Amino acid sequence: MSEHTPHKISIIGAGSAVFSLNIIRDICLTPRLQGSLISLMDIHPDRLEAASTLCRRYASEVGINLQIEQTTDRRTALLGADVVINTALAGGHEWLREGWQIARKHGYRFGGSLHIMHDEPFWINFYQLQLFESIIQDILEICPDAWYIQSANPVMGGITHLARKYPQAKIVGLCHGFTEIYEIARILGLDDRDQLTFEIPGVNHFVWLTRAYYKGEDVFPLLDEWIATKSRQYWASQQGGSLRPKQIDLYKRFGALPIGDTGTDGGGSWGWWYHTDAETEALWQENPEKWWKDYFHYTSQGVEQIRQIGADMQNPVTAHFKPELSHESIIPLIESLLHDIPRVMIVNVQNTGEYVPGIPRDFAVEVPALVSKRGIQAVQTAGLPAAPLAYALRDCVAPWNLELEAYTQHSKQLLLEVVMMDHWTQSEQQARALLDEILSLPYHNVLREHYQ
């Protein structure tokens, strides 16, 4: 048994075997968390059973004492929980893709369409917001002292809404997009991540590298040299990845480098002017349609791989998932909160202290924070340059504030205004046609009733 007090960690949406297994792997490699009770919860019994079996096998193979329970009842999972991790997606990818097909028909395309042609469109956000609220309400009733960690999207809108409506809850959002900085450092020949410090402020999926130091030396001169001497050769030899032409162009325009989903050709494919047509996308080596096709193929392959690993009782799970830390931030954050191990981590919290100057105080921002038993204490940043801040307010803050108001007021008219704010909307008729066709889908009864 661990010499430390065992804790209960509940994972909502644990049927994602890869995600759950990564959490179990990191817990197994975190001595202070050994002996913990891990409650795996999912509404899909078959997926839950497969994930739970793999997790138990993994813990057994590495010889770690973990108690792993499984349940399809959320309230059971929350009973006595110290930490609740939410990774659940209501509706699934099919609802997402069918909505996209309708949007394409009405003239919408990838490229800064953050509430339509994105994996956070308004018709998925609705179900996620309902799920987030129901979980928080259960937590406040069953385990009110538990920390709620949201890794499920939309993190920006979700943390903003929950922090406003449930200020008594202990909530934080996590996203691993900022970790692209480590890949960028590797490309620049800076291999020791422990020697790298940085500041990447913004709002979730819209964050910008404004400061970076390696062994105390400014990284931006190295980046400028790489752009001048190596970028074209790199782009000619590799499609996709980090430090792509669009990222570099944005860096030259704004003086800050877009990180993670901010500048990918997936995600929201921001900004729209790189995606006006196929020829323009080719010029910038952008192809969001292919990016998403590859992403969905990768996820389906992952599901099949997990199925095969689970069915293969002759070979250990550790042969496929080495006992190495995943570098995800969930388990280090939990260790810091429960065992008072102070760490500076990148989190999503309400901007109460103007940690990103210019973003409203009641809106969620992504910033560094000191995490310990005392809680999550966000760190003041120098903020964003003028242009990224202006775009953050226009493309992220304003539409989300409007969508949250539409959600709260059950207002179809305000939801229409969210669609009207999209760059690809050319007329009210177009926006109405899109909204009405989405709402008319037979499985959107709850969505339709909410906005009537």
* Total number of residues shown for the chain: 452
User: Which residue in 54, 120, 46 sits closest to 90, CA to CA?
Assistant: 120
* Residue 175 is assigned to a ligand binding site: yes
Element (H, E) at 58: helix 45-61
* Residue 287 is assigned to a ligand binding site: no
Q: CA–CA separation, 98 vs 103, rounded Å?
A: 9
Q: CA–CA separation, 363 vs 203, rounded Å?
A: 9
Out of 4, 44, 176, 320, the active site residue is 176
**Adjacency order of strands within the sheet including 217-218:** 196-199, 211-214, 217-218
* Residue 315 is assigned to a ligand binding site: no
Q: CA–CA separation, 68 vs 77, rounded Å?
A: 11
From the CB of residue 188, how many other CB atoms can be counted at a distance below 10 Å?
A: 17
176 is catalytic: yes
327 is catalytic: no
Answer yes or no: are the C-beta atoms of 294 and 288 closer than 8 Å: no
Please, which residues have CB within 8 angstroms of residue 248's CB and are 6 or more apart in sequence?
A: 227, 231
Rounded-to-5 percentages of helix, strand, coil across the chain: 50, 15, 35
Please, which residues have CB within 8 angstroms of residue 298's CB and are 6 or more apart in sequence?
A: none
Six-digit token string for 369: 């924070």
**Cα torsion 258, 262, 265, 271: sign:** negative
Answer yes or no: are the C-beta atoms of 369 and 344 closer than 8 Å: yes
Out of 26, 42, 119, 261, the active site residue is 261
Answer yes or no: are the C-beta atoms of 23 and 87 closer than 8 Å: no
Catalytic amino acids?
176, 261
- The binding site for Mn(2+) comprises 175, 205
- The binding site for substrate comprises 153
- The binding site comprises 153, 175, 205
